[in-house]
Structure 1
Amino acid sequence: MASAVSNLGDGIIRTVIPLLAITLTRDPVLVGALTALAFLPWLLFAIPSGALVDRMDRRRAMSLANLLRAVVIGGLIAAIAAGQVNMVVLYAVTFVLGMAETVYDSAARAMLPQVVRRDQLDRANGPLTSAEIVTETFLGAPIGSFLFAWLVVAPFLTGALGYLLAAVLILSIVGNLRPGREGNRESGTATMRADIAEGLRWLRDHHLLRALAVLSGLTAAAHTMANAVLVLYVVDTLDVPESAFGVFLVSAGLGGLLGGLCAAWLSRRAGRIATMIVSAVFCAVANVGMGLTDAAWLGAALFGLVGVSVSIWNVLVMSLRQALIPEQLFGRVQGAYRTLVWGMIPLGALVGGVVAGVTSVPTTFVISGVLQLLLAVMCLQLFRRHRGQIEAAHLPDAERATAD
């Protein structure tokens, strides 16, 4: 329940901030900078946030992050009411929301391996991803766009209240969700700097995850080239009304829901490596197709295919990380991994805005898709080299011990 309410707030806020931005400017570089600033905190704060998550109750970390988000949105509401909102204000709000997300997401991802066996991670991550998509895209996106069309301040107020409610609900979760190493922490021998260094060394020495982080980061940057100017593509290229922008996003939500629900099944039937690579290829092809059409129905269908592909990839890669990373190190290693991956997204967003300004928004989608296709080939080569490690990661603990 707490996760659903928080995701609903995310869906509303992520939909209406770009809508508010295009009432201030139609410059693709300025609009794309919003996406860059949303992910820049992952480059700057993901590792410290991961270390923090590994040193405190993960429920408390998530609750405090949501409280910060509510306060920031409250400040934006005040600026809107006073008629003082501008792009600088939106940039600041977006950046601080991203900071809070580094803590919330790191804590949420670290909780799952504490309560789910390695061989069940795909099945657990799939429904969780689908539930996140339902609340963010099916509910949050259309609610946000409709409320925005009715009264600009309304969706921001709704999102802030959602974050406040989620903060309270998270604290009601029962169970021991503190990370390990309690004795070491209490003795004072572990410092934040030492914790961070430990996580960085672990990722540095793990060839598969280190290489996957780099390739995933480049892929995310390529994908974000298009995503950064998505609102301009939908409103200007496809001629979809601003009030229906959230409805357009539902197509990706439908795809994401399907992908999340079938990811584990596809992995069992077709194999984990094949499923991940095919999903990456489909995402690339869909982005190229979006750049070649101005028909709203086809653009929505292709965006739905993007949703399917991204959801499958995210479920399987997240499960792989959760299976390979030791629980007591998860927050820090996850933070380092996310720094490499999401830290490249701001660069992709800025490049996408520049490319769209120099060429066109549709051309940006085509270039994005071609780059993603090339990176999918590189991922295939990496997975082939580490096939045994990937397949063994999700065996039950007893079988993994035997395999080792």
Structure 2
Amino acid sequence: MGSTARSRTRPAGRADLGRPFRWLWASAAASNAGDGITRTLLPLLVVAHHPDPAAVAGLTAVNMLPWLLFALPAGVLVDRADRRRIVLGSNLVRAAALLGAALVLADDGPLAALYALAFVLGIAETLADTAAPAMLPRLVDERHLERANGRLSAAQIVLNETVGPPVAGLLMGLTAAVALATGGALYAVAALLLLGLAPLARTTREPTPGEPASREPAPGERAGGVLGDIRAGLRFVLGHRPLRLTLAASALYGVVFSAAFSMLVLFSARTLGLGETGYGLLLTAGSLGAVAGSWLAPRADDRLPTVRLARWSLAASGAAYVALGLSRHPVPAALALAANGVFMMGWNIPVMSLRQRLTPEDLQGRVMSVSRLCAWGGMPVGAALGGLLAAAVSVPAVFLVGGAVLSTGALLLLAPLRDDRTPDPGPQKHSDLLDK
């Protein structure tokens, strides 16, 4: 398992990710700002017209349903079509849906219409969030995937989770129509920015030595249509131990994260005695930690073996949940959430980059769709388990048990993976992880 620290051929902080990445980043920033506004706005609209907890819960379920129904077919489409056009089209659909809603739903919001809007937005998000990460290995040098993923993650956290919600509240203070139109305009801007990218034909970038290359479809794969392509993607994931085990760990993290997050508002109110402002500050502490982690994780990956960094970051994230469960004062609770944000990025960014490296070009979309399904498919289960555990024991017990399970699971699930031993930073550095 021992591995010396790796060195980069260029200083990490001076990596030039190139103009194509800058166009993608700008587009992602605009769409994340739209996400942040929309995800806060829709529940507010439901509450304004239908103040029923079941109606609000139903909105979340409808919005997430496309991930369960269409994630795997979306991966097939992403591997068959131009990924840039998929993201561009998804942003245009979201823009049109929100701008249309600004005209017809602002004054009167029938619950069925709001659910339909949430479902359409969920389908578009499923396609965009599958295609965008699959584009990345063809836009930046393989050595800089961690840095590119880190910058995209930072934009997502700042604009989606930190800036978007309060802006949505301010816009709702004006009119719902203005808030809806602002979200639609941001998605339209995101689509326009993608015009700066050339169509991503399969000849965009030749594989570098040691990098998994595009492969010919297996016999009968195309003959099986969409289902055949889905089976091929699942076979690839299940047949490669690094992908299989990291996806299992992601599923575990999704369950623990959703259990903890679903109980955080109760923990803030009952255990820490905080009001709405204090709860918002707790969330801000977690977001700031994640932003810091998006900067630190690529630099740590420059110096540590990828598998070791990911494994111990995930275990440390579990320890941060335990520390949160033990906290009885807002300051240590905020510090625990900030630390969890750092460690979350120390897991997400290296593992995302590792999957992108280990996956052939023609399977990027399907592997990404399986990844999303594993990470997010278990979240409803985690939220239900968190509620049951809190009712049976206590709210802090959710963080204590969940954190202990996450730390133990991370160490056990990822123990079979070997750290790379190659000092060269190129694609060869993960070659030993390709063992089945």
Q: Which residue in 2 is equivalent to 1:46?
A: 71
Q: Which residue in 2 is equivalent to 1:278?
A: 312
How does 1:108-187 map onto structure 2 within 5 Å? 108-148=132-172, 154-170=178-194, 172-179=195-202
Matched, 1:61 2:86: yes
Of structures 1 and 2, the larger Rg is shown by: 2
Q: Which residue in 2 is equivalent to 1:289?
A: 323
Q: 1:53 to 1:326 in 2, by over 3 A?
A: same
Deviations 1:292-346 (Å, cap 9, x if unpaired)? Answer: 4454444333222222111221101100000100012111122123223322222
2:407 to 360, 373, 386: 373
Matched, 1:386 2:411: no
Q: 1:121 to 1:83 in 2, by over 3 A?
A: closer
Deviations 1:210-257 (Å, cap 9, x if unpaired)? Answer: 122122112211111122344555566656555776554332221111
Moved more, 309-318 or 341-350: 341-350
Matched, 1:396 2:426: yes
Asked whether the equivalents of residues 421 and 429 of structure 2 are also in contact (C-alpha less than 8 Å), the reply is: no
Asked whether the equivalents of residues 33 and 159 of structure 2 are also in contact (C-alpha less than 8 Å), the reply is: yes
Asked whether the equivalents of residues 63 and 119 of structure 2 are also in contact (C-alpha less than 8 Å), the reply is: yes
Deviations 1:69-128 (Å, cap 9, x if unpaired)? Answer: 33444576544521534xx76665444433222210111101111122332211222222
Q: Which residue in 2 is equivalent to 1:224?
A: 258
Q: Which residue in 1 is equivalent to 2:15?
A: none
2:336 to 284, 292, 302: 302
Deviation at 1:197, TM superposition (A): 2.7
Deviation at 1:10, TM superposition (A): 1.2
1:358 and 1:317 map into 2 onto residues whose CA distance is: 35
Asked whether the equivalents of residues 247 and 374 of structure 2 are also in contact (C-alpha less than 8 Å), the reply is: yes
2:279 and 2:44 map into 1 onto residues whose CA distance is: 8
Deviation at 1:376, TM superposition (A): 1.8
Asked whether the equivalents of residues 73 and 230 of structure 2 are also in contact (C-alpha less than 8 Å), the reply is: yes
Moved more, 323-332 or 279-288: 279-288
Deviation at 1:18, TM superposition (A): 5.1
1:9 to 18, 34, 37: 34
Q: 1:32 to 1:300 in 2, by over 3 A?
A: farther
2:249 to 176, 195, 215: 215
Matched, 1:202 2:227: no
1:357 and 1:150 map into 2 onto residues whose CA distance is: 39
Q: Which residue in 1 is equivalent to 2:20?
A: none
1:169 and 1:354 map into 2 onto residues whose CA distance is: 45
**One-letter amino acid of the structure 2 residue matched with residue 396 of structure 1:** G
Matched, 1:81 2:107: yes
**One-letter amino acid of the structure 2 residue matched with residue 112 of structure 1:** L
Moved more, 391-400 or 325-334: 391-400
Q: How much identity, in percent, do the aligned residues show? A: 36
Q: 1:293 to 1:341 in 2, by over 3 A?
A: same
Deviations 1:272-310 (Å, cap 9, x if unpaired)? Answer: 233222322232232233334454444333222222111
Q: Which residue in 2 is equivalent to 1:336?
A: 370
**One-letter amino acid of the structure 2 residue matched with residue 372 of structure 1:** L
Q: Classify the secondary structure of the residue corresponding to 1:387.
A: coil
Deviation at 1:138, TM superposition (A): 3.6
Asked whether the equivalents of residues 148 and 243 of structure 1 are also in contact (C-alpha less than 8 Å), the reply is: no
Deviations 1:341-386 (Å, cap 9, x if unpaired)? Answer: 32222222233344445555444333332322222222342xxx22
Q: 1:119 to 1:393 in 2, by over 3 A?
A: farther
Asked whether the equivalents of residues 130 and 256 of structure 1 are also in contact (C-alpha less than 8 Å), the reply is: yes
1:250 to 276, 281, 284: 284
Asked whether the equivalents of residues 311 and 414 of structure 2 are also in contact (C-alpha less than 8 Å), the reply is: yes
Q: 1:301 to 1:2 in 2, by over 3 A?
A: same
Deviation at 1:145, TM superposition (A): 3.7
Q: Which residue in 1 is equivalent to 2:121?
A: 97
- How large is the RMSD of aligned CA atoms in angstroms? 3.6
Asked whether the equivalents of residues 392 and 403 of structure 1 are also in contact (C-alpha less than 8 Å), the reply is: no
Gapped runs of 5+ residues in structure 1? none
Asked whether the equivalents of residues 312 and 411 of structure 2 are also in contact (C-alpha less than 8 Å), the reply is: no
TM-score for the superposition, normalised by structure 1: 0.82
1:245 and 1:81 map into 2 onto residues whose CA distance is: 30
Asked whether the equivalents of residues 28 and 152 of structure 2 are also in contact (C-alpha less than 8 Å), the reply is: no
Q: 1:97 to 1:176 in 2, by over 3 A?
A: closer
Asked whether the equivalents of residues 75 and 367 of structure 2 are also in contact (C-alpha less than 8 Å), the reply is: yes
- With a CA cutoff of 8 Å and minimum separation of 6, indicate the structure with the bigger relative contact order: 1
Asked whether the equivalents of residues 106 and 334 of structure 1 are also in contact (C-alpha less than 8 Å), the reply is: yes
The structure with the largest helix share of the pair is 1
2:58 and 2:412 map into 1 onto residues whose CA distance is: 28
Q: 1:402 to 1:319 in 2, by over 3 A?
A: closer
How does 1:333-372 map onto structure 2 within 5 Å? 333-356=367-390, 361-372=395-406
1:14 and 1:391 map into 2 onto residues whose CA distance is: 43
1:283 and 1:399 map into 2 onto residues whose CA distance is: 26
Moved more, 244-253 or 94-103: 244-253
Deviations 1:17-48 (Å, cap 9, x if unpaired)? Answer: 45666776685x87666655554433321111
Q: 1:145 to 1:268 in 2, by over 3 A?
A: same
Moved more, 147-156 or 45-54: 147-156
Deviation at 1:209, TM superposition (A): 0.8
